[in-house]
Structure 1
Amino acid sequence: MATPDFVLALREKIGHDELWLPGVTAVVLRGVGGSGGAEGPEVLLVRRADSGAWTPVTGIVDPGEEPAVAAEREVLEEADVVAHAESLSWVKVIDPVTYPNGDRSRYLDLVFRCSWVSGEPFPADGENTEAAWFSLDALPELSDDMGARIRSAVDGAEAARFER
């Protein structure tokens, strides 16, 4: 599902006005510290159906949902991979987004470092056209922002980075 029902309900009340929404980015790694059978460290990426861009799995936190649970849920829904959220690596506000229909949103993005548990990726829910593992040494073209999200999770700092 591309737009959660609770967002559609809010849109009925506020129209195209900017919505403040909590979001998650799940940087799923395997082959790091014994997390799977990969030759070397790999990251799960999906190719978005709307833009064609490769990204880690991203999504919106449902009302009352724990953010780490949201990250794990989004990975399962979008790529059919079971992942475990290990740590919060970055907290930042995303620049405003205006969608083709005029809806405006701004996201508080919580970037989680996740470990692979099981499953081989494929585009499970229609939001993506591809899903695959990529060696950290051979990533496809990524936006600077998505590259930074991956680096924040891979760096494995003990405390989350807070944007200032």
Structure 2
Amino acid sequence: MTTPDFVLELREHIGHAPLWLTGITAVVLRGDEVLLVRRADTLEWSPVTGIIDPGEEPADAAVREVREEADVVVKAVRLVWAHVLEPITYDNGDAAQYLDLVFACNWLNGDPAPADGENLEAAWWPLAELPPLSESCERRIRLAAESFGPALFTQLLPVALPEVV
């Protein structure tokens, strides 16, 4: 994954210390197909993911990342899930944790191709015949393809009900 300039500038000051970053997952749907990219760093298939730039609207980041990574034009149509990913330490020692905002996106035009060097392949996959994916990626795709209600918010803490007097 190409590291955004603002993250590189932060790293100059904090070294490898953990960073809290906001990212997006863009689940691009075209009928009964989903756009997947095969990442150059892990060789795994996944929806398009990326980091939101400072001041950038999250939905705009989803659209931008899909264009940059897969050369496809999309419209972000809804937020389907907001959740926190597990902490990660990269090979160079940098630590980070992400708030991931998952967007369902509709394809507008373009043929998928790995456009910026972050991915080895970009292709449409039938929703019924996906390649091996992480459990998290499968859930993101399923939520984008099957849910049409409000966004899902992961909540791990029990909700305390107010005392009735």
Q: TM-score by structure 2 length?
A: 0.93
Letter in 2 for 1:118: N
Partner in structure 2 of residue 3 of structure 1: 3
Question: How far apart, CA to CA, are the structure 2 residues paired with 1:13 and 1:135?
Answer: 45
Q: How do residues 145-160 of structure 1 correspond to structure 2 at under 5 angstroms?
A: 145-160=136-151
Partner in structure 2 of residue 86 of structure 1: 77
Give how far 1:156 is off: 2.5
Partner in structure 1 of residue 162 of structure 2: none
Q: How many residues align?
A: 155
Q: How do residues 30-69 of structure 1 correspond to structure 2 at under 5 angstroms?
A: 30-31=30-31, 41-69=32-60
2:88 to 97, 105, 108: 97
Letter in 2 for 1:129: L
Residue-by-residue CA offset, 1:22-76 (whole Å, 9 max, x unaligned): 0000000001xxxxxxxxx000000000000000000000000000000000000
Q: Unpaired segments of 5 or more residues in structure 1?
A: 32-40
Partner in structure 1 of residue 97 of structure 2: 106
Partner in structure 1 of residue 161 of structure 2: none
Partner in structure 1 of residue 110 of structure 2: 119
Q: Unpaired segments of 5 or more residues in structure 2?
A: 156-165
Partner in structure 2 of residue 34 of structure 1: none
Question: How far apart, CA to CA, are the structure 1 residues paired with 2:147 and 2:64?
Answer: 22
Partner in structure 1 of residue 14 of structure 2: 14
Secondary structure at 1:151's aligned position in 2?
Answer: helix
Larger Rg: 2
Letter in 2 for 1:26: A
2:124 to 120, 133, 144: 133
Question: How far apart, CA to CA, are the structure 2 residues paired with 1:16 and 1:152?
Answer: 33
Q: TM-score by structure 1 length?
A: 0.93
Question: How far apart, CA to CA, are the structure 1 residues paired with 2:124 and 2:74?
Answer: 13
Partner in structure 2 of residue 38 of structure 1: none
Question: How far apart, CA to CA, are the structure 2 residues paired with 1:29 and 1:145?
Answer: 17
Question: How far apart, CA to CA, are the structure 1 residues paired with 2:74 and 2:88?
Answer: 28
Letter in 2 for 1:146: C
